[in-house]
Amino acid sequence: MEKLNKLSPSCDEGADQIPDRRRCRGAGEPLDLIVIGAGPAGLFCAINASGKDRKILVLEKKKSPGSKLLISGSGRCNLTHDGDMQSFLDHYGDNGRFLRPALLGFTNRDLVAFFEERGLAMITLEGGKVFPETQRSRDVLAVLLAEGEARGVQIVCGKSVTSIEKSGEGFLVACWDETYRSRTLVIATGGRSYPATGSTGDGYGFAEALGHAIAEIGPALAPVRIRDYPFADLAGISLPGARVSIFRGKKVREHEGDVLFTHEGLSGPGILDLSRSIRAGDVLRVSFVVDETREDLERWLLDRSRGDGARNLRSILAEMDIPARLASRVLEILEIPQDLKCASMTREMRIGLADRLSGFPLVVEGLGGYGCAMATRGGVDLKEVDSKTMESRLARGLYFSGEILDVDGDTGGYNLQAAFSTGFLAARSIQKRLSDQEGTR
């Protein structure tokens, strides 16, 4: 695999080193397409919208492309997920149906084939997560940049867009030092998660300037901070397949997945996937015992107190696969003696223990911020975007792809698949639009 800096010299050297600056500005005839954001959604859209003699420009404000892609999966790049695409729709919250045309139009199989046909093999690891065989995000980016270069896509880095406006049948895209004209425009700036990679929410302002509403944004795939957290010293303990319920006066949502205790609260897939629905002040009830109701636990404890009365309570809790330190802390919170014999357990103790083990209540202080959130919930209102083309319903020739849209996925490769699929769907529509325009010239 060639080194990254050989694939994109214009990005490394800055905008002043780009040849043929008049063409980039769109002097004379406008550019065919400008893509704002050189992440996976933007790059893939530009690649697939390319064609003979088409002038396609990707503007990226960071000094190099794909900054967020490079840290994806801790640098290993969980590219997508294995399995049937129909099941993907269940992994994008309430707005998952919007992605149906995109996901079925460019599937996980299509994505794997794209990279494997260009020499980057894929492997499926734990839980169906798909990674490049090299497990290096840089290799994924290198394939995208090489393909873009081969198709004549130009990437200009270190170029912050300051404003966008509709102009006749096209768009004016202003940067601090020059303005570009283009027939079509794609906003693929991502959300606000990991702002150090360039995802600082710029695209929301651009979309609003073009008439679009923005659904309330917030961190997603984020850990949760807990008020008066009683398990800070148990950081590192994990509960496989725990059931977590959100209460906001009444039960709002329930989810099962691995939960990890941290120094400030909770993390792990079971929390991250649920975080799009969690708000400050919510009560989370976390089950420490898989597939057991409070009634089942109370009955089980009663049976054990009768049949194993001489045994220590902690020893029978160990049979339920509750980590010993966690069980000890629960007893401490309930003021139950650590060496209590089962026969000495009172009804109040039994009820309290069954209640805590089946759904320990924790009050949410807040979510981890954008600096640690893997994704952003909210974004461009989906009612104003055509799900079959990713084109704006308000401004012809304007498209959105990736995380800027009001839809976010679970952990496991779902967000990257959505980025590639929406980028591809937008490109297909842009191809048709440009072909129609070319046919009338």
According to CATH, what is the number of the domain 223-368? 2.40.30.10
Tell me, letter by letter, the H, E, C secondary structure of 118-151.
CCCCEEECHHHEEEECCCCHHHHHHHHHHHHHHC
What residue type is 298 in one-letter code?
E
Residue 164 and residue 210 in contact, taking contact as beta carbons nearer than 8 Å? yes
pTM of the model: 0.88
Q: What is the pLDDT of residues 166-183, one digit of tens each?
A: 998 899 999 998 999 999
Distance CA 121, CA 114 (A): 10
**CB distance 1 to 142 below 8 Å:** yes
What per-residue confidence (pLDDT) applies to 25?
55
Cα angle 423-428-434, degrees, rounded to a multiple of 5:
120
Cα 33 to Cα 5: distance, rounded to the nearest angstrom: 24
State residue 314's pLDDT score: 87
Across 187-209, b (16+ Cβ under 10 Å) vs e yields bbbbbbbbbebbbbbbbbebbee
pLDDT at 439 (0 to 100): 65
Q: Which helix (H) or strand (E) is 420 found in, with range?
A: helix 414-440
pLDDT at 441: 58
Three-state SS for 328-376 is HHHHHHCCCCCCCEHHHCCHHHHHHHHHHHHCEEEEEEEECCCCCCCEE
Q: Indicate the CATH number of 4-219+371-440 among 3.20.20.140, 3.50.50.60, 1.10.260.40, 3.30.420.40.
A: 3.50.50.60
Strands (E), 228-310: 238-248, 250-261, 265-267, 283-286
pLDDT in tens, the chain (441 residues): 333 333 333 444 343 333 333 334 544 589 999 999 999 999 999 999 999 889 999 999 999 999 999 999 889 999 999 988 888 999 998 899 999 999 999 999 999 999 999 999 999 998 899 999 999 999 999 999 999 999 999 999 999 999 999 998 899 999 998 999 999 999 999 999 998 888 899 999 999 999 999 999 999 999 999 999 999 999 999 999 999 999 999 999 999 999 999 999 999 999 999 999 999 999 999 999 887 888 989 999 998 888 888 888 888 888 888 999 999 999 999 999 989 999 999 999 999 999 999 999 999 999 999 999 999 999 999 999 999 999 999 999 999 999 999 999 999 999 999 999 999 999 999 999 998 887 665
CA-nearest of 139, 48, 146, 66 to 102 is 48
Do the strands 56-60 and 31-36 form a parallel or antiparallel pair, or are they unpaired? parallel
For residue 119, the model assigns a pLDDT of 97
Domain boundaries, the chain: 4-219+371-440, 223-368
Q: Give the count of beta carbons closer than 10 Å to the beta carbon of residue 323.
A: 17
Output the pLDDT for position 304: 85
Q: Return the pLDDT at 19.
A: 35
Name the residue with tokens 């330190």.
Answer: 325
Measured in degrees and rounded to the nearest 5, phi and psi for residue 180 equal -110, 150
Each residue's pLDDT tens digit, 284-312: 999 998 878 889 899 999 988 888 888 88
